[in-house]
A and B are shown apart, each in its own frame.
Chain A
């Protein structure tokens, strides 16, 4: 069954059809959420919430964009909200100047060197980017959306996406220098 048929069945209360949609898009949502939040317990929770939100708004889904894009949009917004929540809760415990807007956090080079595998190194590099840069990298490089689609999902002008991508790549290149030699 294609997505539209599965959505139709889900609307009629067929749980098996909705479960099939979860299986079909789990990996795509995982890329977005784990890319944004890292491998944390909250990431699994946000992944679940993405599908729960979709279930709640099942009757509102018009199919203007593909289901994958629709789910990615929910996932990225929930992830950005989670990052804001983290920042707020951290600022309750630490002085505000620690959280002044920084485009990039420089990870400890030893940390990167010590990382066991490429995945971990990439994840550390990704987490060192400020959320607005990370979201662009996740959508464009991990999820492989086009620049136009990335701009639409994030509701940004294409020029902004391009400039954020360029700055993020410059940073990533310096962190992952050994890996990309």
Chain B
């Protein structure tokens, strides 16, 4: 019956349940006392006042300002990184092009031999080259 009593505070009971509860409430002092306690308990909780410390709104707004500034700094960092990367990338591509041109001028082709500087490059001479005692 206590379950039904508790349920009656939080959910609409069916007509049968309501009748049953009313009947038992009228007969049982114990259940009436429980109902009184539950009502008091709810009253105690619902009358509670909660507040943050003073100047809460200012603290939130400060945090939002910091967050915004942080985002701007973050954005600037990303922009600078991209700018630096662009310059490095351009220099790298220029260096590769110069290297390719110099290889072509000196060797006359872009063959593997021209790149490695070893004539008639094969697996055998690679192995003997690697195993050779310097």
Out of B6, B37, B45, B52, name the residue touching A137 (CB < 8 Å).
B45
Q: Which of B55-63, B95-103, B106-114, B115-123 contacts A (4 or more CB under 8 A)?
A: B55-63
Q: Is the CB of A172 within 8 A of B56?
A: no
Given the known interface contacts A55-B64, A165-B6, A169-B6, the answer about A31 and B50 at a Cβ–Cβ threshold of 8 Å is yes
Q: Is the CB of A180 within 8 A of B56?
A: no
Q: Is the CB of B11 within 8 A of A122?
A: no
Q: How far is the CA of A31 from the CA of B60 in the complex (A)?
A: 17
Annotate B10-52 by CB proximity to A: 1 below 8 A, 0 otherwise. Answer: 1100000000000000000000000001101110111011111
Q: Is the CB of A173 within 8 A of B41?
A: yes
Min Cβ gap A170→B in Å is: 8
Out of B41, B51, B59, name the residue touching A169 (CB < 8 Å).
B41
Chain A, Cβ-Cβ closest to B7: A162
Please list the residues of chain B having a beta carbon within 8 angstroms of any beta carbon in chain A: 3, 6-7, 10-11, 37-38, 40-42, 44-46, 48-53, 56-57, 59-61, 63-64, 67
Out of A30, A43, A141, name the residue touching B46 (CB < 8 Å).
A141
Out of B37, B46, B67, name the residue touching A52 (CB < 8 Å).
B67
Q: Is the CB of A44 within 8 A of B52?
A: yes
Chain B, Cβ-Cβ closest to A27: B51
List 16 A–B pairs whose Cβ atoms lie within 8 Å, in order of A's numbering.
A15-B61, A18-B64, A26-B57, A30-B50, A30-B52, A34-B52, A47-B52, A52-B64, A55-B67, A119-B48, A122-B45, A141-B42, A161-B10, A162-B7, A162-B10, A169-B6
Min Cβ gap B21→A in Å is: 15
Interface SS of A by simple majority? helix
Out of B11, B38, B46, B60, name the residue touching A48 (CB < 8 Å).
B60
Interface SS of B by simple majority? helix
A118 CB within 8 Å of chain B: yes
Chain A residue contacts of B6, Cβ below 8 A: 165-166, 169
Chain B residue contacts of A180, Cβ below 8 A: 37, 40-41, 44
Which residue of B50, B53, B67 has the most chain A CB atoms within 10 A of its CB atom?
A: B50
Q: Is the CB of A26 within 8 A of B56?
A: yes
Within residues 13 to 56 of chain A, which ones have a CB less than 8 A from any CB in chain B? 15, 18-19, 22-23, 26-27, 30-31, 34-35, 43-44, 47-48, 51-52, 55-56
**Nearest 4 CB-CB pairings of A with B:** A141-B45, A180-B40, A30-B50, A34-B50
Chain A, Cβ-Cβ closest to B42: A141
Given the known interface contacts A26-B52, A118-B44, A122-B48, the answer about A166 and B60 at a Cβ–Cβ threshold of 8 Å is no
Min Cβ gap B58→A in Å is: 9
Min Cβ gap A103→B in Å is: 16
